[in-house]
A = this chain, B = another copy of it.
Amino acid sequence: MHFADRLSEAVRRKGNATLVGIDPRPENLPRTLKEKLSGKPGEIGEAFTRFGMNVVDVVAPLVPAVKFQAAFYEAFGLEGIEAFYSSMVYAREKGLIVLFDGKRNDIGSTAEAYAEAYLETPAEGAAEGTRWDADALTINPYLGTDGVKPFVDVAAKHGKGLFVLVRTSNPSARDFQDLVADGKPIYRHVAEKLRDWAEPQRGTSGYSLLGAVVGATYPAELAELREALPGVIFLVPGYGSQGGKAADVAAAFDENGMGAIVNNSRGVTFAYERPEYAQRFQGNWQACIEQAVRDMNDDLAAHTNAGRLRA
Residues of A within 8 A of B (CB): 23, 25, 40-42, 44, 69, 71-72, 74-82, 85, 103-111, 113-114, 116-118, 127-132, 140-147, 165, 168, 170-177, 179-182, 186, 189-190, 193
Contacts and interface: CB of A to CB of B under 8 A. Distances in A.
A140 B176 contact: no
A110 B263 CA distance: 15
A182 B118 CA distance: 38
Counted per complex, copies of this chain come to 2
Given A79-B129, A186-B186, 13 more contacts: A42-B127, A71-B111, A77-B117, A78-B82, A80-B130, A81-B81, A103-B105, A141-B142, A142-B168, A144-B174, A144-B177, A179-B181, A179-B182
Contacts of A105: 103, 105, 140
A290 to B, nearest CB: 25
A103 B77 CA distance: 17
A267 to B, nearest CB: 14
Nearest to A43: B127
Nearest to A166: B142
Contact of A180 (B75, B82, B181): B181
B144 A113 contact: no
A306 to B, nearest CB: 26
A117 B173 contact: no
A165 B142 contact: yes
Nearest to A122: B77
B41 A127 contact: yes
20 contacts: A25-B109, A25-B113, A41-B128, A71-B104, A71-B114, A72-B110, A74-B117, A75-B113, A75-B114, A76-B117, A78-B82, A79-B129, A79-B130, A80-B130, A140-B142, A142-B165, A142-B168, A143-B173, A144-B172, A146-B171
Contact of A176 (B108, B118, B186): B186
Contact of A144 (B129, B147, B173, B182): B173
Contacts of A146: 170-172
A25 to B, nearest CB: 8
A171 B145 CA distance: 9
B108 A170 contact: yes
A191 to B, nearest CB: 11
A292 to B, nearest CB: 20
Given A23-B110, A75-B116, A77-B117, A189 B193 contact: no
A50 to B, nearest CB: 18
Contacts of A165: 142-143
A147 B129 contact: no
A131 B76 CA distance: 6
B132 A77 contact: yes
A77 B129 contact: yes
Contacts of A147: 168, 170, 172
